[in-house]
Structures are given as C-alpha cells and as structure tokens.
Amino acid sequence: MTEILFYHLTESKLEDALPPLLDKSVERGWRVAVQMRETTRRDALDTHLWTYREDSFLPHGTDEADFAGDQPVLLTISADNANAATVRFIVDGAEPPSAADYERIVFMFDGYDQEQLEGARAEWKKLKGEGHNLTYWQQTPEGRWEKKA
C-alpha cells in the first residue's frame, strides 16, 4: 500500500523545505515527480532548484523540457507520470493522481494559506476514509520535521 505523508509548512516556505527532501529522495535512488497547479510556479521552482545551494546539484527538469521522461526529479503541472516516478510530491494544492500508482505520496502545504490548509484536510479525510495509512509531519521552530500523527 502507498505510504502517504502530509508535511505542514509552518516555519519556512516551500522553496526552502522542498529541496532537502528532493535531495534525500535522489540519494535513495527514487524517481520523483513534483506536481503543482501553475506553469509559472513550476518554472520558478525549476530556476530555484538550479541555484538554491552552491555546493549541490539536484538533477531535475520540467514536463515541457526535452527528455522529461529521463529526469530523476520532474516538475510538472500534469497528473501524468512521465518519468515513471515512484514518489510524488503534491504542492500548492494540486489535484493528486491515484495513490495506487506510487510507493509514496507527499502532500506539502502552507499552514498560512487557508485554501491549501483546507485542501490538505479534505485530502486527509478522503484518503483516511479509503483506508490508507497516513502520517502527519509539522515543522518545529528550527525548521525540522516532527511526526505528529
């Protein structure tokens, strides 16, 4: 069964919290898709991932670039799984694909954005009702992740 995690951003922005999680995913050999709702957000995140740290390289691309299917991390606005990802991050309240298609789905949501907060609560309720095992992680004041449920 798919492992489903909810990451509640309370101390940092997505741009700060997502790259370390993607780094760890790539280190583990996982193929990852990061799904958002808007192309402008996808393109801004693409630029950010090239420059967020001088001493790091995070191989990634977008769903509009050549060789999208070859990318270990694919930024997308589509529910398609163009890079055969086993892990999918859902950000900015994007509409998730079927959980059955992945080993792990990670919902990341901004705790100060009411729409994202309500969307995450609705997804939690829906997925819990379908019998999935869910975990909920919240940021500590230091920006680390603490399991709450």
Amino acid (1-letter code) at residue 111 = G
CATH 3.40.50.300 fits 3-147, yes or no: no
**What is the number of alpha carbons within 13 Å of residue 60 lying toward its C-beta?**
26
pLDDT at residue number 46? 96
Amino acid (1-letter code) at residue 109 = F
**CB-CB contact of 4 with 127 (8 Å):** yes
Give the model confidence (pLDDT) of 65-78 as tens digits.
999 999 999 999 99
pLDDT for 56 beyond 90: no
Give the model confidence (pLDDT) of 78-120 as tens digits.
999 999 999 999 999 999 999 999 999 999 999 999 999 999 9
Cα–Cα dist 92/149, whole Å:
22
- Which pTM was predicted? 0.95
